[in-house]
Amino acid sequence: MTFKRVAAACVGAALSLAITSFGSVAQAADMTAWKPAAPPPPAPPLDIHGFFDVTFANDYMTPRGLLVTNTGLTTQIVNGLTFSLYKNPDSWINSFSVTVGTFNDLWSKQNSVTGGANAVTPGQFDAVGSWNEFDWWVSADWTMGKYWKAGVTYITFISPPGNFQQERNVEPYLRFDDGALTGWAFTFNPYVKLFYAISGSSTVVVGNQGNTYDVEIGMVPTLDLKNITGVPLTIAAPTWVTVGPSSYWNRGVTGCGLATTTPCSLSNAGVVTTGLALKETLDWLVPTRWGTWYAKGGVQYYHVINDSLLLAQTFTGTANSYATAHREVWVGYGGLGFTF
């Protein structure tokens, strides 16, 4: 009997071990079958981007050297969308995009001065308030050979208070991206831009009205501190000079002296300018899921070379006479914006 009991116990133990082992193998098989699926691939980058920028300044000076306003507060708002249509880093044309945007200028003192002769009701602002200028544009931009950027912009200038007739312009440009070549934190970013006025009032008031042009030659030396210290701050020095035919600046308008009949000295140069611009990315303050926000500030110095630009100030109201026109202009500004 003892032997039978021992044999039965051994058989029972063997069966129990077999069942346990089978259960473990089955469980392992189940675990293998239910292995979590791999995470989905990341979403492709957006091919549509937007931007918004607001600037507060003491004066409004155009890139061509026209002093538009120099009293009160100037507020300028720029926004738009960019559509990336083509990208290929291995071809001669590396990228192509189309941008549409608008520019608005608000002048705090506009309500206290007389309206323009071109207004719907001459001498009145037609209830536009401080809305001084509205521009809209569409541009095509592309990158060539990784280091060259080119493009062309069609832009229309409109005066809500009727200070000038609608101006239609085309601006092709070419820029060298030396930062993409060197990888340095300090870059020069040289460029050249043609400004061709198709039609409308003169963009410098007393010059030819349409079918004329000037050329902007410049560079934007920039130091990116983030590449050196990790601080998300860039320091730039936008610098350029404008040149063009003398008729672009003056179509024969007189008044460059004590008498209104005094002719202006003709010149092919318009204005030379340089400045200091600081821009800080605000990732530490605003989450990037709300876009890339930034704050900016700086000062830009302009030296008016062309006497006809001084005469133009007597038409825009920034000078009471040619003798009191401003040859040296300092524009201080600050602002913020975001991109996505």
Query: For residue range 24-77, what is the model confidence (pLDDT) as tens digits?
Result: 444 444 445 566 777 777 777 789 999 999 999 999 999 999 999 999 999 999
13 — pLDDT class (breaks 50, 70, 90): very low
Give the CA distances from residue 230 to residues 184, 234, 280, 292, 305, in Å, rounded to whole numbers and listed in that order: 14, 11, 12, 17, 41
Distance of alpha carbon 257 from alpha carbon 262, whole angstroms: 5
116 — pLDDT class (breaks 50, 70, 90): low
For 66-98, b/e burial (b = at least 16 CB within 10 A) is bbbbbebebbbebbbebebeeeeeeeeebbbbe
Reported in sequence order, the residue ranges of the chain that DSSP labels E, i.e. its strands, are: 48-57, 60-61, 67-69, 74-87, 93-107, 131-144, 148-158, 167-176, 186-187, 190-199, 212-219, 222-224, 233-236, 239-243, 269-281, 292-304, 328-339
> Would you say how long the chain is, in residues?
340
pLDDT above 90: percentage of residues in the chain: 80
145 — pLDDT class (breaks 50, 70, 90): very high
Q: Does 91 score more than 50 pLDDT?
A: yes
DSSP secondary structure string for all residues of 265-295: PP-SEEEEEEEEEEEEE-TTTS-GGG-EEEE
Residue 308 φ then ψ, to 5°: -65, -25
